[in-house]
Structure 1
Amino acid sequence: MFFKSTRSCLQRWGESLPLYQRKISKCSAHDDSLDQTRLLMRLCSERYYISSEAFNTRTCTYGPLGTELKKNIIDLWTSAIRSRAYVFGISNSMQSRIPEEPGRIVNLKSFQEILSKDNPSKEETSQNIQKHLKDSLSVRTSLLQGALQQYIQALELVNRTLPFGLAETGLCYNFDNQLRHSSDCSSEVTESSLVWFCSPRTSSQWMDYWVHHRLKWWRKFALGPSDFNLCNVGDESLKEGASHGVKVLYNFPWGSETLETLWTLGDTQLLKTHQETSVKVQCRDGRKSVVPHVISVSVNVDRGMLAYLFNSLQRLKKTDSKQKLHQRTVLKLHPALTPVKVALDIGRGSNSELRQVCEGLLQEFLEVGISTWPGYLDTKSLENLNTKYDEMGVLFTVMVSESTLKSGLLLVRNRDTTIRETMHISEIKCFLLKYISASENH
């Protein structure tokens, strides 16, 4: 059993939210950032991003929309990284026997048996515990080591030429000092990693390339790009073997948090991993044989997901023709990120016939990969449904009505503009595909 204690269900969102209550308590009761944080937490619970059951437990689980948003982020990250030639995907076990790893999976029953023995000496108890810990498996705190271990096999794949990279996504346990001191707990996060092997003479250029690439990627999908920034890691905070480090930060309401970290690691950790086969790690750099330098890129996906949720949350005010003020809460996630692209609703007309049309469109959209919400199953008013869809981040609402049965015309509402347009049913699928594709390539 792996021990975890958390302050709230929000802890699953990386290392920033375990301190959520303490951080936002520093704000005054009228602080806009506090209101924004509370609004987002409520929205995520009510709109299927977080499982509502999680509030009664010590951990948090994602709901359907949270799961899909996280998947979209990982897919887009992987696509961007793999767009370079000679980047290969790998997968390693989360459990390992690496002595340096600080986390351990222990059997609670075995520990209880050790502690419940009659009249054991302190020395005997200590020896039994040490033996039990030695035999237990460690849990990884990053994906770097797995890529370093697969280096030699991958080197043969590229005919011992540089550069190339190994990419992976998986669960890790991060033991943050602040977190440990505040609540004595660990944090399970999803990490995406690129380990880039390059010539020593070009490592600084490659580091600059990846730093620029990563910041540009985060800003590409942001509603407010300026909230994403870079900072250099100070010499006192450099990890083992690193000569340079850069962080991609997001400015949360309570302060900046690290989303992604890039390290220039030289050859130290690679040689340490392959001590007995140091000759085999060498590869060609022109006519020379060299040991490559390593650049490590790692992103906390859970915290990145939280950053995009905060970044996309908007409260919009509008005065109608009668001077009545209306307020609208919208989750303006980028079209490539938003979990639901379209919601299907029914208007006036034969309920059974309209529902058949909706079910046909639902199947048609799903077959081409357009995530669709079956709103026609909901009995709420159209106004309440639009409020719900805006808070879910749904891009388009498609209304099927009696006119659809007669003329094939649909009413399509845009999330960002709230403008409703008529469109023929034969055109809607092509329109949605083009819109989503254009937004991803913009």
Structure 2
Amino acid sequence: MKFGIMIMRQWKVSNKLFQNHWKILGLWLGLRKCSKSTCDLSGFTETLLELCRSRHFVSGDEITQDMLVDGSFNYGHLGMELKRNLATNWWDSMVLSREQVFGMQSPHQLKVNQNSDKSMKLMDVATLQVALDKKDANKEGSVSLKDLLKEYIILRPNLLQGAFREYTTSLNLVNRKLPFGLAEIGVCYQPIPSSKYSTVCNAVRTVEVELASLVWFSSPWTSGRWLDYWVRQRLLWWRKFARSPSSFTAIDSQDNDGIKGTALYFTFPWGKEPIETLINLGDKDLLREHHGNKSSLQGRDGRRTVVPHVLSVSGNLDRGVMAFLCDSLQLTEKVDSKLRINQKKVLKLHPFLAPFKVALDMGKGPTIELRQVCEGLFQELVEKKVTVWPGYLETMHMSLEQLSIKYDEMGVIFTIVVNETTLENGLVQLRNRDTTMKEMGHISEVRDFLIKYIRES
């Protein structure tokens, strides 16, 4: 009985402290990990926007959700490296590792054809204004705007026509054997509503997007199987770099002209958006481009000679960049001793996509000697094609905790800290972004480990 009274007294004395401990534990359990599925979506988007600006993935103060979706923003230093890595991996996968795909490059301006009404046209505004003024002055309209509008430049909305024009030359390259493909990465100009989220919107604007395109030529009787093949391959490729592969999905689609195909979507915090389209265009567009000259277009599939069907595989690299930024952003909320909630942001980009694989920084010690060590290690890693962020050039000193926060938000995989211990025995500190583990190792072993890790990722 006395033991029970003693426990009750102890409970009354420490009840407030006990409740505070449970409050902290509850907050820790409830807020320890905040993913896109549990966080407020608008809050996640705002956090993503702020991180993209502060860590130089995008440039500019007035960045909106619409601009992220459309790709109508300027890239910062890290964003440009991320996009370049994405394009390089696309090219390696689609061109360099395949026997039947060849690279090409075509001009931004299109040759006038029957589809020109659907393309974006570029005209000199001053010339157009003079014509309009003259027409207003002369009610009979002696100046024909219709004739004037013929003097325009057509900007390509996609990369199809360049591949169509290159087809006959490439057909000779492969000894007229089907199937084969032509790949290209280039800037295109596409019209979109000025506010796609408004209920009533008649205005359109043009956005500049970078597309990665494969145009695949195959016989009519195998085109359906090839379309299924490329859908599987492309979905696997996008999912390969994702922390949440299920965010990338394939959905049957149909464009405004009734052409059926498949679209690959990514689930953004604000909803699903297409990042790649795959459609079977048949042979109509190819024949029209070559004025119906079937004899020059026929290729061989086995013993049969035929005009090929065209499969278009077109991915939006700008939207792909935003997809991987959304996918890789991990938010963790921790409660400190004063019950304050601190949010930690980590950009867990795939090693192939991370703009910088390694950050190189200095700790305590003689500045000149440590900087010389950093410069030497920097050159060794760069020569091995490992991208390095030269943090040792910063003039403002930061604690190791502040460095970890900065580099986690930049998506840097490893951080190397060189200090006075390095000068004594060659040991450096290595921190892993994903595990947050800090280990000591000899500078030569760390260098060899990083080179091997990046190559084998």
TM-score tier by shorter-chain length is 0.7 to 0.9
Instruction: Evaluate the alpha carbon distance shift between residue 176 and residue 223 of structure 1 in structure 2; reply closer, same or farther with a 3 A threshold.
Output: same
State the identity as a percent. 47
Aligned residue in 1 for 2:55: 47
- Whole-angstrom distance in 2 between the partners of 1:424 and 1:145: 55
What secondary structure is seen at the aligned counterpart in 2 of 1:394? coil
The residue correspondences of 1:17-416 to structure 2 (distance < 5 A) are 32-52=40-60, 60-82=73-95, 83-99=97-113, 100-101=115-116, 102-117=119-134, 120-122=137-139, 124=141, 127=144, 129-176=145-192, 179=195, 181=201, 183-234=203-254, 237=255, 239=257, 242=259, 244-317=260-333, 327-378=343-394, 379=396, 380-416=398-434
Of residues 273-282 and 260-269 in structure 1, the stretch that sits farther from structure 2 once superposed is: 273-282
Partner of 2:17: none
- Secondary structure, counterpart of 2:222 in structure 1: helix
**Cα 1:118–1:304 shift into 2, 3 Å:** closer
Q: Secondary structure at the match of 1:357?
A: helix
CA distance in 1, matches of 2:44, 2:416: 30
Checking the alignment, whether the CA contact within 8 Å between 1:54 and 1:60 is kept in structure 2 is no
Unaligned runs of 5+ in 2: 1-37
Q: Does the CA contact (< 8 Å) of 1:195 and 1:297 recur in 2?
A: yes
- Structure 1 residues 318, 118: closer, same or farther in 2, change over 3 A? closer
- Aligned pair count reads 404
- Farther off after superposition, 159-168 or 99-108: 99-108
How has the CA–CA distance of structure 1 residues 190 and 274 changed in structure 2, closer, same or farther, with 3 Å as cutoff? Answer: same
Structure 1 residue 393: Cα displacement? 0.5
Shift in Å, 1:178: 7.1
Change (3 A) 1:209 1:196: same
Question: 8 Å contact 1:248–1:260 — kept in the other structure?
Answer: yes
Could you list the runs of 5+ residues in structure 1 that have no partner in the other structure? 1-29
Q: Aligned with 1:130: secondary structure?
A: helix
Q: Give the TM-score of the pair, scaled to structure 2.
A: 0.83
Amino acid at match of 1:93: P
CA root-mean-square deviation: 2.4
Instruction: Please tell me whether the aligned partners of residues 356 and 411 of structure 2 are also in contact (alpha carbons under 8 angstroms).
Output: yes
Q: What secondary structure sits across from 1:383 in the alignment?
A: helix
CA contact (8 A) 2:183 2:214 kept: yes
- Separation in 2, partners of 1:166, 1:215: 20
Q: 1:169 to 1:47 in 2, by over 3 A?
A: same
Q: Deviations over 1:55-101 (max 9, x none)?
A: 69x96311110100011111111111112212000111001233423
Q: Distance in 2 between the 1:49 and 1:182 partners?
A: 32
Per-residue CA shift, 1:229-273, capped at 9, x if unaligned? 010014xx3646x4x300000111111100000001121111111
Q: Distance in 1 between matches of 2:400 and 2:383?
A: 27
TM-score of the pair, normalised by structure 1: 0.86
1:201 maps to amino acid: W
One-letter code aligned to 1:88: F
User: Is the 8 Å Cα contact of residues 103 and 139 (structure 1) preserved in structure 2?
Assistant: yes
